[in-house]
Amino acid sequence: MAIKLMGVEGQKILSDERFTQDFILINHPNFFVNDLKDYIEVLRKYLEGGFWNQWVLAPLRLRSLRLIWIALHVNLTIASSPLARRYWSMTPYKFGDGRPPYAVKYTAIPKLPIPGLLQRIRNLLAANFSPKRAMQEMLERHEEVRFDFYIQSFVDSRSTPIEDTSVEWSEEIARIDRVAQIVIPRQDIMSEERGKFCENLSFSPWHSLPAHKPLGLINRVRKRVYLAISDHRHDLNGEKSHEPMAKEPEEIR
């Protein structure tokens, strides 16, 4: 789940977008690597392609059965609709300007019921299934779709570590607090115009106010990687990256 808030005033960490704040969430609460050397080895083997490389040899590049289990769990998740799934930030973020910095993770929980495993499998096996079409059908059945947005607060370096993203922050130790609601109105997401607009957006956790600075090793790597991916994608599309505007600020009209 990638969220881009527009019209956000204030100095940003990255200079390529001046009035946005991005939030990037994934369908699992923790990550399967926290060491850059291991991450590179896993990616190299995975990108060679083929079932044996991707699902046997790549996970074996990890150093423990726990990390291998997390990697398989992340990548074998059965999801039949992106609008009926829970998402987590996986990585922590600064929350406010206090010292020492107050850290949080984010999670978005759908208001629609999450279908059970058998129902998700039936949906996946349906004729002409695609996640995008499943979202379109859901938006046609409802006036709007909502998610509750929560923050989960840092407790201590052992149970809620900043650097080790392979450790899940337990909600029994670090409770979640609802701070906002995401409302997705009924719309046509299948249109060519909407698809082109989305394809040419650029997301990064570093499109951020300093008060919400990304924290930890994985986020530091993302700072360069996400920019490189965005530049490469826009080059392939023959498009220039641009910042979307909710409303044109007075000083740049």
Task: Spell out the domain ranges in the chain.
Answer: 2-28+77-252
The closest alpha carbon to 110, from 182, 29, 9, belongs to 182
Position 252 pLDDT exceeds 60: no
CATH superfamily of 2-28+77-252: Catalase core domain (2.40.180.10)
Which percentage of the chain shows pLDDT scores above 90? Answer: 48
Instruction: Return the structure tokens found at 80.
Output: 């039949």
Give the H/E segment covering residue 45: helix 36-46
Chain-wide mean pLDDT for the chain?
89
Task: Name the DSSP letter for residue 23.
Answer: E
Distances (CA, A) of 107 to 2, 26, 160, 192, 206: 12, 9, 15, 30, 18
Q: How far is CA 183 from the centre of its chain?
A: 17
Spatial distance between the Cα atoms of 28 and 252, rounded to a whole number of angstroms: 39
Position 103 pLDDT exceeds 50: yes
**Sequence-distant (≥ 6) Cβ neighbours of residue 117 within 8 angstroms:** 78
Residues 215-226 pLDDT 10s: 999 999 899 888
End-to-end CA distance of the chain: 31
The closest alpha carbon to 208, from 108, 100, 109, 89, belongs to 89
Spatial distance between the Cα atoms of 36 and 234, rounded to a whole number of angstroms: 26
* pLDDT at residue 4, as a whole number: 96
Residues forming a β-bridge with 144: 185
**Sequence-distant (≥ 6) Cβ neighbours of residue 216 within 8 angstroms:** 91, 92, 162, 163, 165
**Sequence-distant (≥ 6) Cβ neighbours of residue 180 within 8 angstroms:** 148, 149
Residues 137-196 pLDDT 10s: 889 988 899 999 999 999 999 999 999 999 999 999 999 999 999 999 998 988 888 888
C-beta neighbour count of 205 within 10 angstroms: 25
* pLDDT at residue 88, as a whole number: 97
* pLDDT at residue 251, as a whole number: 46
Spatial distance between the Cα atoms of 20 and 245, rounded to a whole number of angstroms: 8
* pLDDT at residue 101, as a whole number: 66
SS3 197: helix
- Please say whether the beta carbons of 39 and 33 come within 8 A: yes
Q: How would you class 143 by CB atoms within 10 Å of its CB: exposed for 0-12, middle for 13-18, buried for 19 or more?
A: exposed
* pLDDT at residue 249, as a whole number: 46
Task: Name the DSSP letter for residue 150.
Answer: E
Position 51 pLDDT exceeds 60: yes
* pLDDT at residue 183, as a whole number: 96
* pLDDT at residue 99, as a whole number: 67
Q: Please state the rounded mean pLDDT for residues 100-116.
A: 89
Confidence tier at 237 by pLDDT (50, 70, 90)? confident
